[in-house]
Structure 1
Amino acid sequence: MSCNNDNDDDSQRTPLSPQPPINYVEQLNLSKDKAKYNPGEGVRFFVDDVVPNTIIKYKFLGQTIGEAPLASTSWQWSPPSDDYKGYMVELIQIANEQQTVLGTAAVDVSSDWTKFPRYGFLSDFGAISEAQRNSVIANLKNFHINGLQYYDWHAKHHIPLPLDAAGNPKNSWVDLFNREVKLETVAGYIEEGHNRNMASMFYNLLFGAWHPEQGDGFSERWLIYNDRFHNKINSHDLDGFGSILITNPQNEEWQNYIFTKTKDVYDHLNFDGWHLDQLGDRGQVYDYGGHDINLKNGYNNFLTALTANFPSKKHVLNAVDQFGYNEILSTPMDFAYSEVWTRMQYADLVQVILENNEASNNQLNTVLAAYINYESSDGFFNTPSVLLADAVIFAFGGAHMELGEHMLSREYFPSNNLQMDNELKNSLKEYYDFMTAYQNLLRDGGEFITTSITSTDLNFNNWPPVFGNVSAVAKRFANRQVVQLLNFNGVSSLNWRDNEKTQTRPHTFYNVNMTIDSPMSVSKVWFASPDFEGGASKELEFKNNGNSITFTLPYLNYWSMIVFEN
């Protein structure tokens, strides 16, 4: 999508002045019992109090499909049985002819969580009590996290689950950094996650060996080398903790070995699949016999064999800085996962998502591991950094690996050096509600298009972002035109990582005059924003000018969405 200037003539413009933002806080703490729901499954809701003259509205893409009075602090709703749909539930108080949104919550009805992955993580498997585990899972459920990556839960990379002489799993072991891992904790997290319809994916490299010992059944012939004479093993150094030795993913003996160890995992722990990791471009490497190795092709070979061996399990391989993403996504992966390193601009994040869309023939949605405020050592996350990055990622149909027992700022997931302030906690809840409720517009097909926007109030341009402008991301569906508005008016940087925590909040604008070109016949215009009234949808008055629609945008801070329907 190219950038264009839709406002060449500024002579008639009287730009809007920035206004204070609305800091929306839900009043009734609306929540539900699970992260997602299978078709035909009922949804249980909870609120803190019953407020008179409040109704519950159940909506699908801005259309009310049911409503009832709020009469209890808990109740059940049966969504339509259609698969892969997102809904918004709104609590609306009506008094003196005024409507006030007291709370919102999204509902995802999907039989397979990987259709719309909202990925989180767990990273501490020591002596965690059942109550503590349940608290962590319950919190992630409120963000609709439907899949969990169990980071560094394993013992050795080549023997992830240690067994005793009788073939039973040991009760505890240590990970590669000598942290204790308890079998009871891992199993307990898996069970509690399943109770909330959250899948559990065990983390492990696809090609790593950690301190192989006599009796492990490991062979140095499976390793890759930096020379043709197998003198120097290719390895990943962990300073004082030793090195991970890198195996050849295309070696059939290695595949058979690690698949056997993987079966041990599945035989004793009810994991739903394997989150595979790699280490990026290893340079020129050779097998034990001195032959050149093409690691990207090796990934393809390994993944094809893996999915054939475990057809009922889910699989995803991290494309580290997009290394091998084409080869990875040409195998039957369940979603795309990319750890972003060298691509530093907001436009770069989008490019990764678009590359994954193309490589998977638009069949897989993307999760980005993109570490915000990466070089900051303590304090709080910079809220504008997180929200603007999430707005960009979510608007293009991606998800962000960022939520677990804490919020993620480093590639070592147990690192907990930065905290979320209350504004960020509250805002993120609305952003994840928004991504889930409107997933059928954000992550379920449609064709990206360019559109023309004119306004006497603000400067607009088609993506990519321009300082001082609002960037438009338009999509066309069979009976809808959707425009995401991403606000870069007032930001200090187009760098998403924001190591110095200097990103500023975009300016806030109310009642923005807008005209958007639309080739279709428009019968309805509606608006929603994660920054406004909990993402509740609002129908707008509009004027049809033939091939364009004029309306007033109620609110714009980070991200707003406009939908035309015919």
Structure 2
Amino acid sequence: MNKYISVRKRDILLTGILLIFTLFFSALLQKVYADGAAEVSGIYVTEVHVDKACYGLGDTVTVTAVIKNASAAEWSGKIYLKIFHNDELMDTKNTALSLSAGTTASKTFTWTPPMEDYKGYLVQAYTKDSDSKTTAIDVSSEPSRFPRYGYIQNFDEEIKKNTIEDQVNTLTQDYHINLFQFYDWMWRHEVPIKRSDGTHPDKSWLDLFDRTISLDTLTGYINAVHNKNAAAMAYMMSYAAREGYTDYKVSPSWGMFKDTGHQSQFDVDFGNGRYLWMFAPTNALWQDFISKAYTDVVNTMNFDGIQMDQMGQRNNVFDYNGNSYDLKNSFSSLVNTAKKALQTNNTGKGLLDFNIVDGTVDGWALEDIAKNADTDFNFSEIWWLSNNYNQLRNYIEQLRGLSGGKAAVLAAYMNYNMNYGRCYEAEDASYNGVDVATDHPGFSGRGFLQNFAQQGDYVQFTIHTEEAMTYALVFQYGDKDAEATRTIYLDGNKIGQVGFHAKGNWDTFAHDAYMNTYLGSGSHTIKVSYDAANKGAINLDCLTLGEFEESSIRLADAAIAASGASHIELGAGLDDVTMLGSEYYPNTSKVMSGDLKTAMKEYYKFITAYENLLYDPEITYSDQGNQYISINGQNISGDGSPGTIWHMTRMTEEYDILHLINLTAERDSEWRNPSAAPGNLTKLEVKYYLSPDAHISGVYTASPDYNGGGSQELNYETGSDNTGTFVTFTLPSLEYWDMVYIRRSVAAPKDDIYEAEKAVKTGVTVNTNHAGYTGTGFLDSFAEPGDEVTFQILAPSDKQYALNFRYSNHTGYSASRHVYIDGNYAGVLKMSDLSSWDTWENAALSAYLKKGVHTVSIYYDGSDSKGINLDSLKVN
């Protein structure tokens, strides 16, 4: 009894001490947690950026981090910097900082990158009390290696120097633009710089559409671009001169004509009394003339090179002497002459690219430019021959393949000719002197307002904006007979005049009448008024706050970058940056929302940091089959089908690279069209097949959609099944675009013999019931269309290789199979009938392979025939 009491007392005492300790420790934890939470919620790295668009070898990078203390107490701590190249941590830095409550400070770091040219890096800045912010570094002695092409299109004399600097700083710091196309800056296309005294450039001149070009503004932009270590490219037409060209020593005998008697020269009529007349690109006198104009542009204006344009396909072309002229194969001659002239003039300012208009697979003039032209990178305007995602992907792969991996830039105009944005119907507005009608088709809403034709008539819209920014006021209208004008009032104040253009009938509703104006957040009135200074009759259908649709931009940019190209789309203008939605670059009838600008900053940071995994010339491609990948519970496609996760596989010597683009909410595969925002898919279980000779050392994922683009290492498992050797991992999330990259080494097997039973298999089985095979078995049931075997092989150097497929065939007939290398058709294997299934022979195919890892697929196409057994592939 006494013993029991003493034990009980001891237990009570211990319990009390434990309870007191628990309460004390819990209170301490709560205080620490509360203090930590206050610090975490109050300390922010608000920004991090670098000082240049790109850096040369040996250059010092300056990184600036901006830190804000939004708490009510002073903060002291360290700012940390980490610099990564893909998955590799390159350097760490830190510095101490104290911040009073409510203050902001900047800290700079300097870093000298390794002496390796053409490398991208991700920079992460953070404190122990804040989330990180990231930026990117591009070390490239030539910006044309990884071009992130932007544009400048307004050279009005009213643009101030600080505006120029702010615009260029934004484009280079926030979006990492490293080349700028100066669009329509010239006086005449054949005589770009106006010199009234014959020697010195005029202070200003008018362009083709009577816009004022200020010399000071033009040179101010060029200087600002150079201050950021970016390149300034002068837009020039390659083979055209303005009306009256004979006054400027251009001869019609250099021209291209529609007839054999040189009576009808090819031209473009702009409808304003202005023309561009076309000349034969191979004509030596024209080449000499325009090359001198190019070098004059570089020497006088300090441009870094020339953006050469053309007007697209022309058929039935004749030269001045009536000879049939092969235009599509003539451009490389002009390009190479101009390039030589620029290089001879100044080797440091000889950049050159040429526009492959209407780019598509096997397109017009593609092969001549891609294979033969001495361009620094390839530029291609996309029109109506590459309308869906996969057509873009196929074209980019072909363009880069034909040019030996040269960089590619697409001019692909998003939401083209679409009146997209918040719409306010005219019939729902307040109005005077007009009435509602429905007798002309094509209107939106319930109808349109007609009889808008007399002084005093007006239509007034009440609109609402959530975001303070510059908007596009786009008016959809009908105008049959003559040019019309209307005066626009914002909240009762006159802000300008808009022109409406005659369409020849009342059944055409156009939306090419617009103006840009700044609107604060909240409600506003927009009045369209027929004032004394106005003219013409119109029907008014609606007012749209024109904007770009965010999801389509993000998906199209993901498709372009994952395919291996970049996209010219961002330029200087409006509040800070504008987006390209038309072939006429000054058109600003659509604007970027704040959310889209934020998304584009993340995207451009991502493609800069991971430029080596996206754009290196050595990257090889796999085919578009689904044999490489499965995602549990998800529909997948290799061709960008709507309603799927679109996968693309690329390879380097170090990595297998898997791109996943979320098209699960897409209604169609047209990249221009507005899209539904994809849902954020989480915890995706991925199985990916790769070479049995691969040794994996890490699986990583990175995305412009989360984590500031930073890479995350994933847990993974390896194994094999009836299909082949695989790695499995769980992808945390997929919003628009994820890139998974698998670090691995690939060793060639003994005697360079790749056993078929270890390859990736579709529709075939492993067997051992016929003697004479190598390895552990062979593949049989290779007998139906769609059956396929894919090898991942290693080419130790750039050279011609013999691919020997060891097979057996005892069907009584010859068999055939299609072979694809890196997704490209390489030829047909013909396999003779042999004496028995125990007899093995080789069927060979020759191919030139660059050093690195490649896929070789042997495929039963619909045109192939007869079953075979496949034993191995030997690479000689």
1:395 aligns with 2:562: yes
Tell me the SS of whatever aligns to 1:404: strand
Task: For residues 282-327 of structure 1, give each alpha carbon's deviation from its aligned partner in whole angstroms, at most 9, with x where no partner exists.
Answer: 2211111111111122212211211221222011110001331211
Partner residue, 1:436: 608
For these two proteins, the number of residue pairs brought into alignment is: 532
Deviation at 1:111, TM superposition (A): 0.4
Deviation at 1:29, TM superposition (A): 1.7
Between the two proteins, what is the percent identity of the paired residues? Answer: 32
Measure, in 1, the Cα distance between the counterparts of 2:410 and 2:367: 16
Tell me the SS of whatever aligns to 2:584: coil
Partner residue, 1:473: 648
Q: 1:188 aligns with which of 216, 220, 223?
A: 220
1:497 aligns with 2:672: yes
Q: TM-score, normalised by structure 1?
A: 0.91
1:176 touches 1:241 (CA, 8 Å); kept in 2? no
Partner residue, 1:107: 137
Partner residue, 1:447: 620
Partner residue, 1:84: 118
Measure, in 2, the Cα distance between the counterparts of 1:384 and 1:202: 32
Structure 1 counterpart of 2:621, one-letter code? F
Partner residue, 2:478: none
Q: After TM superposition, list the pairs within 5 Å mapping 1:537-548 onto structure 2.
A: 537-546=711-720, 547-548=725-726
Partner residue, 1:282: 314
Task: For residues 385-412 of structure 1, give each alpha carbon's deviation from its aligned partner in whole angstroms, at most 9, with x where no partner exists.
Answer: 1000000001111100101021100000
Partner residue, 2:151: 121
Partner residue, 1:269: 301
Partner residue, 1:171: 203
Tell me the SS of whatever aligns to 1:354: helix
Measure, in 2, the Cα distance between the counterparts of 1:360 and 1:78: 33
Partner residue, 2:12: none
Measure, in 2, the Cα distance between the counterparts of 1:489 and 1:53: 43
Partner residue, 1:352: 395
Measure, in 1, the Cα distance between the counterparts of 2:566 and 2:407: 8
Partner residue, 1:132: 163
Partner residue, 2:438: none
Deviates more, 1:406-415 or 1:127-136: 127-136
2:294 touches 2:342 (CA, 8 Å); kept in 1? no
Deviation at 1:53, TM superposition (A): 5.9
1:349 touches 1:393 (CA, 8 Å); kept in 2? yes
- Seen in structure 2, the aligned counterparts of structure 1 residues 442 and 101 have a Cα distance that, compared at 3 Å, is farther
1:90 touches 1:101 (CA, 8 Å); kept in 2? no
Tell me the SS of whatever aligns to 1:262: helix
Measure, in 1, the Cα distance between the counterparts of 2:246 and 2:636: 65
Measure, in 2, the Cα distance between the counterparts of 1:261 and 1:65: 46
Partner residue, 2:506: none
Deviation at 1:54, TM superposition (A): 4.9
Tell me the SS of whatever aligns to 2:46: coil
Measure, in 1, the Cα distance between the counterparts of 2:713 and 2:565: 26
2:392 touches 2:560 (CA, 8 Å); kept in 1? yes
Partner residue, 1:324: 365
Deviation at 1:101, TM superposition (A): 4.2
Partner residue, 2:525: none
1:285 touches 1:292 (CA, 8 Å); kept in 2? yes
Measure, in 2, the Cα distance between the counterparts of 1:375 and 1:297: 31
1:101 touches 1:533 (CA, 8 Å); kept in 2? no
1:508 touches 1:557 (CA, 8 Å); kept in 2? yes
Structure 2 counterpart of 1:558, one-letter code? Y
1:68 aligns with 2:111: no
Tell me the SS of whatever aligns to 1:381: coil
Partner residue, 1:56: 81
Structure of larger gyration radius: 2
Partner residue, 1:339: 381
Tell me the SS of whatever aligns to 1:394: helix
Partner residue, 1:509: 681
Measure, in 2, the Cα distance between the counterparts of 1:213 and 1:443: 42
Structure 2 counterpart of 1:42, one-letter code? T
1:231 aligns with 2:274: no
Deviates more, 1:223-232 or 1:212-221: 212-221
Task: For residues 534-561 of structure 1, give each alpha carbon's deviation from its aligned partner in whole angstroms, at most 9, with x where no partner exists.
Answer: 1111111111225211111011011001
Deviation at 1:126, TM superposition (A): 1.4
Deviation at 1:421, TM superposition (A): 0.7
Tell me the SS of whatever aligns to 2:570: coil
Find runs of 4+ consecutive structure 1 residues off by over 3 angstroms.
Answer: 50-54, 92-95
Measure, in 2, the Cα distance between the counterparts of 1:366 and 1:166: 39
Measure, in 2, the Cα distance between the counterparts of 1:179 and 1:301: 33
2:564 touches 2:614 (CA, 8 Å); kept in 1? yes
Measure, in 1, the Cα distance between the counterparts of 2:156 and 2:273: 19
Measure, in 1, the Cα distance between the counterparts of 2:696 and 2:592: 42
Q: TM-score, normalised by structure 2?
A: 0.59
Higher strand share: 2
Deviates more, 1:308-317 or 1:44-53: 44-53
Tell me the SS of whatever aligns to 2:660: strand
1:144 aligns with 2:186: no
1:482 aligns with 2:657: yes
2:45 touches 2:65 (CA, 8 Å); kept in 1? no
1:209 aligns with 2:241: yes
Q: 2:51 aligns with which of 33, 50, 53?
A: 33
Measure, in 1, the Cα distance between the counterparts of 2:685 and 2:196: 70
Task: For residues 182-212 of structure 1, give each alpha carbon's deviation from its aligned partner in whole angstroms, at most 9, with x where no partner exists.
Answer: 1111111111111101101101111111122
Structure 1 counterpart of 2:560, one-letter code? I
Task: For residues 454-512 of structure 1, give each alpha carbon's deviation from its aligned partner in whole angstroms, at most 9, with x where no partner exists.
Answer: 23232333x211222212111122121111111111122210111xx3x1112211121
Tell me the SS of whatever aligns to 2:219: helix
Deviation at 1:79, TM superposition (A): 1.7
Partner residue, 2:580: 408
- Seen in structure 2, the aligned counterparts of structure 1 residues 565 and 267 have a Cα distance that, compared at 3 Å, is closer
Gaps of 5+ in 2: 1-43, 70-76, 97-105, 420-473, 475-545, 573-577, 745-876
